[in-house]
Amino acid sequence: MFDALRRAEQERKRRGSRAAEPLEKPTVMPASELQPLNRSHAPSDVSPVVQPQIDPFRDGDAGLPEDFLRELGILRNSIDAILGNTGKRSILFAGSLHEEGATTLASSYANLLGMTSRERVLLIEMNARRPSLFWRMGLSSPEGVTHLFSGQSQAAAVIQATAAQHFDVLHVGEKDPTKIQLHLEAAFPQLLENALKSYDVVIVDAPPIVLSPETPPMASMVDGVVVVVQCGKTKREVVQRALGMIGQCKGKVLGLVLNRKKYHIPDFIYRRL
């Protein structure tokens, strides 16, 4: 046991030194207005869910920790196995309740796709209850989905490029969920349709399923839903209720991501058991 722990510790140190090296950074609405912003996509070799308690977007850092990246790759492979990895697709990420990590996971997944492929990716924030992408990604324009839905802005004016990430963003705009609810049925399908004419993948960051009446209908308008569950906090009954609400609206659940799993012993030892 002592020798095994010593070898594991040495490997952890080597892995930590590699992780410290920075990743190389690759250099409604008329459809014509929804054009991907100019950015360079360079594929990189990466190891193919997640330790979302680590925020890969903190301080504008585009680097993804090794374990985080590996789990994202597993998630990507699972989604591709269900939806296929070719063709246009829209995927919605949501938790049952607040603070389950859906925004971190949606953003990280969008970044992974943009970083490791030539797919054009758009992240749409639909959570007007607790919006965060504007400040989290250092966006410049305060206008977003709510302005688009109410006719105050055009699509070309509200889609923004992120400084350190590999995808475009349409953040929610005003902290006013009523504007989302009022225009959802007519405007959201049109937004998705037009976006998919210019983007290969549209990722939707949605508000909590159980607490937000707009999320279950949105689930029926996308190709699939990823439900994020916080390990040790969200109760089974709550998750079952969320899944039932999506099912009632004829939404397609792609799977569940168990988030923020705590290791009672170091995770590098778990991998050797």
Query: What digits encode the pLDDT tens for the residues 107-119?
Result: 999 999 988 888 8
Confidence check: pLDDT of 204 > 90: yes
Give me the pLDDT at residue 259, please. Answer: 79
Residue numbers of the domain that contains 234: 2-270
> CA end-to-end span of the chain, whole Å?
11
Weakest mean pLDDT among 10-14, 169-173, 234-238: 10-14
Question: Which residues are CB-neighbours of 255 under 8 A, at least 6 positions away?
Answer: 78, 79, 82, 226, 227
Domain count, the chain: 1
**CATH number of the domain where residue 146 is located:** 3.40.50.300
Give me the pLDDT at residue 58, please. Answer: 41
Quote the CA–CA distance of 169 and 137 in Å, as a whole number: 9
Confidence check: pLDDT of 172 > 90: yes
Contact 260, 52 (CB under 8 A): yes
For 214-238, what is each residue's pLDDT tens digit? 999 999 999 999 999 988 788 999 9
Give me the pLDDT at residue 22, please. Answer: 40
Give me the pLDDT at residue 21, please. Answer: 42
